[in-house]
Amino acid sequence: MSDLNTSMVEKYRNNFLKEVEAHVEEGEWVKMCMQCGVCSGSCPLGPHWEHPPQELFMMIRAGKREEVLSSESMWMCTSCYNCIVRCPRELPITHIMHGLAHYATRLGIEPKGQPTRQFAQLFWDNLAKNGRVNELWLGVNLYFMNGLVEGIKVAMGMAGIGLGMLKAGRLSLKELVGGHTVKDKKGFKAMIKKAQELEAARVDK
């Protein structure tokens, strides 16, 4: 268990809802849910979730901390916003899903080997490096996420798309070395650093 996780468990004891309200992005909305179920029924990925949003909200209120934070469910959210549009209480459900996933990651208790989480991490690392997404490296890293053999298989399968993107100028082989960056890379890094500080102050408070 990470130190942060231990201290949060200490601090909130049996009141997981309070913890979510204080530390999860948009977490203060959770108590507004009236358990109508429209979000769960509206999610296009719904059948593949272990716990749909409204069930997660009930679990939060019931204090099922471990089960919620280690769940794969919120990582299934594709940000389609169907639930937000239909929620009769206007809960920002999509944002709460990402907030929960992010909080679990900070505490170090997120589900390991979850593919959406891995992709999100790759995407972020890639973006944070130069301030621009390097599609070539993102693709390469993604394909080899599950090991060399699997990666070559996936890459071969996607070759057609890759070549098409090269032709259309959407993908450049120059990206392999260095790649394009934002103009003010130093400023960009400083900005990210500041944002992370603010974020940390909020989550750890």
Partner 1 sequence: MSDIVATNQTILVVGGGISGMTAALEAAEVGKQVIVIEKTPSVGGRVTKLYKYFPKLCFPTCGQEINQRRMAANRNITVLTMAEVTELSGEAGNYSATVKISPRYVNDNCTACGACAEVVESEFDDEHNYNMSKRKGAYLPHNLAMPKRYVIDPALIGTDEATKAKEACPFNAIDLDMQEETIELKAGAVVWATGWRPFDANKIQPYGYDRFDNVITSVEFERMMDPFGPTGGKLVRPSDGKEAKNVAFIQCAGSRDRNYLRHCSRICCMASLKQSTYVTEKYGDEANVSIYYIDIRAIDRFEDFYQKVQDNENVTFIKSKVANIVENHENNNPVLKGVNTEGYHRYENEHDLVVLAVGMEPSVAKDEFPIELKLNDEGFIENDEANGGVFAAGCSADALDVNRAVQSATASALRAIQVVNRVAQAEG
Residues of the shown chain interacting with ligand SF4 in the complex, contacts defined by CB under 6 A = 33-39, 53-54, 57, 87-89, 91, 93
The CB-of-15 to ligand SF4 minimum distance in angstroms stands at: 20
Segment near partner 1 (CB under 8 A); pick from 47-55, 103-111, 129-137, 157-165: 47-55
CB of 42 or CB of 130, closer to partner 1: 42
Q: Could you write out the three-class secondary structure of the chain?
A: CCHHHHHHHHHHCCCHHHHHHHHCCCHHHHHHCCCCCHHHHHCCCHHHCCCCHHHHHHHHHCCCHHHHHCCCHHHHCCCCCHHHHHCCCCCCHHHHHHHHHHHHHHHCCCCCCCHHHHHHHHHHHHHHHHCCCCHHHHHHHHHHHHCHHHHHHHHHHHHHHHHHHHHCCCCCHHHHCCCCCCCCHHHHHHHHHHHHHHHHHHHHC
Could you tell which of partner 1, ligand SF4, none binds residue 47, using a CB distance below 5 to 8 A set by kind? Answer: partner 1
The CB-of-153 to ligand SF4 minimum distance in angstroms stands at: 39
Give yes or no for residue 132 binding partner 1 (CB under 8 A): no
The CB-of-37 to ligand SF4 minimum distance in angstroms stands at: 5
CB of 64 or CB of 129, closer to partner 1: 64
Could you tell which of ligand SF4, partner 1, none binds residue 33, using a CB distance below 5 to 8 A set by kind? Answer: ligand SF4
Give yes or no for residue 89 binding partner 1 (CB under 8 A): yes
Q: CA 33 to CA 89: how far, in whole Å?
A: 7
CB of 32 or CB of 166, closer to partner 1: 32
Structure tokens at 175: 């990206």
- Binding-site ranges for partner 1 (CB under 8 A): 34-38, 40-42, 46-47, 51-52, 54-55, 85-86, 88-90
